[in-house]
Chains A and B, each alone.
Chain A
């Protein structure tokens, strides 16, 4: 596609529920990143994929968070047993090959609200 696509745009769910957030990167981009942006803050890194593998998952806050990218394109961020503190905008970005001189292109994010 022309840009990074994230679905849904907004998600409202109850505390304790399971949610999945989807990211469709720019076609041909091998590197994919997830960031979380809490209210009034800048985005914070969660996880980075190079192809199908997670090259760096050091930003995942705890084991309730998990992400996959089984075919090296679309990625899904999964959150189990959601808590109110998980409410944030989840941003996805992709770049051509992950080298630092390649720009990261961001999607519009998914706003997650936990009631």
Chain B
């Protein structure tokens, strides 16, 4: 079974600085998707960034980028120029690639990110 581990329950960063959130995962599959989701107090899970395992190039979305190390099964999220609106819970997540019946997303326990003004 696949697992996702986030070892940092909480982190803080000064506004405008850069922060990196860590994630490791375990799988025997060779192809899969990895995600970072943001969950503000509104509870809605917002997709921040997605990485396909067969792509070697690290995904980027504006101020958000990942460092995907497939052999090490590591998937960290870097947030540049941190803003107050980035404060939230961040979840690392995994999903198998397959047909229509590959369904569930497996989430880590989350990292709460605080932005200090």
Tell me whether A and B are bound partners: yes
Interface size class, chain A: 20 to 34
Does B28 interact with chain A (Cβ within 8 Å)? Answer: no
Q: A100-B33, A100-B96, A106-B44 are in contact. Are A42 and B103 (CB under 8 A)?
A: no
A residues in contact with B109, CB < 8 Å:
40-42
B101 interface neighbour in A42, A43, A44, A55, Cβ under 8 Å: A55
Contacts of A59 in B (CB 8 A): 104
* Interface residues on chain B, number (Cβ under 8 Å): 27
Interchain nearest-CB distance for B65 vs A (Å): 19
Please pick, from B101, B106, B110, the residue contacting A45 in the complex, using a CB distance under 8 A: B106
B102 located at the interface, meaning its Cβ lies under 8 Å from any Cβ of chain A in the complex:
yes
Q: CB-CB contacts of A55-81 with B at 8 A, as 1s and 0s?
A: 110010000000000000000000000
Check A109 against B43 for contact (C-beta < 8 Å): yes
Which of A56, A91, A106 is in CB contact (< 8 Å) with B104? A56
Cross-chain contact of B103 among A89, A98, A101, A107 (Cβ < 8 A) = A98
CA distance A85 to B60 in the complex (A): 39
A56–B96 CA distance with the chains assembled, in angstroms:
14
Bound CA span A99–B104, Å? 11
Can you name 8 extra interface pairs (CB under 8 A) apart from A45-B106, A56-B104? Answer: A33-B103, A40-B110, A42-B110, A44-B107, A97-B100, A100-B95, A108-B44, A111-B43
> B residues touching A (Cβ–Cβ < 8 Å)?
4, 33, 42-47, 50, 91, 93, 95-110
- List 25 A-B residue pairs with CB atoms under 8 Å apart, sorted by A's residue number: A31-B103, A33-B104, A33-B105, A35-B105, A42-B91, A42-B108, A42-B110, A43-B45, A44-B107, A45-B104, A50-B100, A50-B101, A55-B101, A55-B103, A59-B104, A89-B43, A97-B100, A99-B100, A100-B33, A100-B96, A101-B97, A106-B45, A106-B46, A107-B44, A108-B42
